[in-house]
Structure 1
């Protein structure tokens, strides 16, 4: 750890920097933070208490680790997923639906943003939609002029979707025009990542059989990493995100040669 310049830092700035270090390193120790920020152990421990209260880290003996919500293997169940960013997901979903053409054969990956696309497919004609998400299948069942193909497999409890070798085998026999993918996290360095290995294999197969791969990723997920990679950045043809994406992340993605569509939100 190199030395910091916390003499001119406000407490909020220091705590934000500590939270970032914990996330990046996986574990930090109080003596290292004392040296880095040039603050007393009592001040650093106070910072850790505040960060833990806000759910950003978890204190351990002598230091801190990421909170459950920040760990790469953590994934909230569908019923626990927040709705605070619903406007972002709705905007991304609406823009994604505009890419769907009459007569297309598409895949909608499991997830809240792809689920939100269902409301915007009402006016499409002769559309075939392949899904492994039971909730999405139920919504599309009500839409005229849409044929729904449900991929079987092992039901992933609490997430209402199918995964496993049977799902992968069925998908492998198909060819589709477009796949609209969700992700738990995305970074230029690690690509698209998810906590579940079975889910990752299904997503890889979806990408492999599609002519065009479109990633639906709200800005809160960008710059983060989860457990298992399912796509390199170069395997994604288009990313649709929202206008809350940071300038740094947008620059990193475009410099990496990615096509990024930014939907305005307020």
Structure 2
């Protein structure tokens, strides 16, 4: 066996050990892993990059989180540190789709929360949301003149509310734009979330909206969660930080407008 092959074997063994550690502890920092495995920062980062490519983990700033299964959802505090820069980029692109005077349904999520933080750049907005943090963020926003919070059962650690099954609070509303988050997005299955109750409410949000805008950082593309809430045909605009050409072509072929940071940088 040559030196290159031996290095690859050692790398695979180390990655398996890293995965076992992260599965047990749910997360790990690069510094922590360097100390445990007695290797350099660049070696650990290369391992984590390869593991993320194989959909085993999700990298964050300075560390790594265990990759969620289709029926499992990370807590909001974990989501907030995951791909934060990408979410900020997506939020900035989403703001370009919002006009003064719009009535918005703002879905729960850490990417939609980033959008909420900059909505003050627009004027005379009406916003309806089921996200506790988003509501608090918009309470003093100068651009939001009307703010409505949808009540129901609080999802602990996720900072959002799911209305009760007989709730009809959205049924008589006509919304300009639903700004939706998602846990997974594929050409085959559309937009998905781990919680069936959340999926049911997301469908209600879509049903009362004239335009549906889906926000998803690139780590959500190619992944499926447990419950579908939107087909490709339900979504008018898809906004992400980066997208492969074949996926973009597949979406555009079905009439969807695709906006992404890489395209903007190229332009």
Structure 1 counterpart of 2:208: 209
CA distance in 2, matches of 1:145, 1:219: 29
CA distance in 2, matches of 1:263, 1:11: 39
CA distance in 1, matches of 2:152, 2:6: 51
Q: What's the TM-score once normalised by structure 2's chain length?
A: 0.73
Contact 1:180–1:213 (CA<8 Å) still a contact in 2? yes
What secondary structure, in the 3-state scheme, does the structure 1 residue paired with 2:182 have?
A: coil
Q: 1:175-230: CA deviations, max 9, x gaps?
A: 10001000000001011000001111111111000000000011111011000000
Deviation at 1:56, TM superposition (A): 11
Question: How is 1:19-34 mapped onto 2 (pairs within 5 angstroms)?
Answer: none
Deviation at 1:145, TM superposition (A): 4.1
Matched, 1:110 2:108: yes
CA distance in 2, matches of 1:48, 1:228: 34
2:257 alignment partner, one of 233, 256, 259: 259
CA distance in 1, matches of 2:108, 2:246: 29
What secondary structure, in the 3-state scheme, does the structure 1 residue paired with 2:97 have?
A: coil
Gaps of 5+ in 1: 1-9, 16-42, 59-65
CA distance in 1, matches of 2:121, 2:166: 29
Structure 2 counterpart of 1:50: 15
CA distance in 2, matches of 1:228, 1:254: 24
CA distance in 1, matches of 2:202, 2:68: 22
CA distance in 2, matches of 1:139, 1:90: 15
Structure 2 counterpart of 1:38: none
Contact 1:168–1:205 (CA<8 Å) still a contact in 2? no
Matched, 1:81 2:51: no
Q: Larger deviation: 175-184 or 123-132?
A: 123-132
1:98 alignment partner, one of 90, 96, 101: 96
Deviation at 1:166, TM superposition (A): 5.5
Tell me how large the CA RMSD over aligned residues is.
3.0
Structure 1 counterpart of 2:171: 172
CA distance in 1, matches of 2:103, 2:110: 20
Question: If you compute each CA radius of gyration, which structure gives the higher value, 1 or 2?
Answer: 1
Aligned CA distance change for structure 1 residues 215 and 157 (closer, same or farther; 3 Å): same
Aligned CA distance change for structure 1 residues 258 and 158 (closer, same or farther; 3 Å): same
Q: 1:92-127: CA deviations, max 9, x gaps?
A: 101111211111111110001111112221132221
Gaps of 5+ in 2: 24-55, 58-65
Q: What's the TM-score once normalised by structure 1's chain length?
A: 0.73
CA distance in 1, matches of 2:168, 2:122: 28
Question: How is 1:181-192 mapped onto 2 (pairs within 5 angstroms)?
Answer: 181-192=180-191
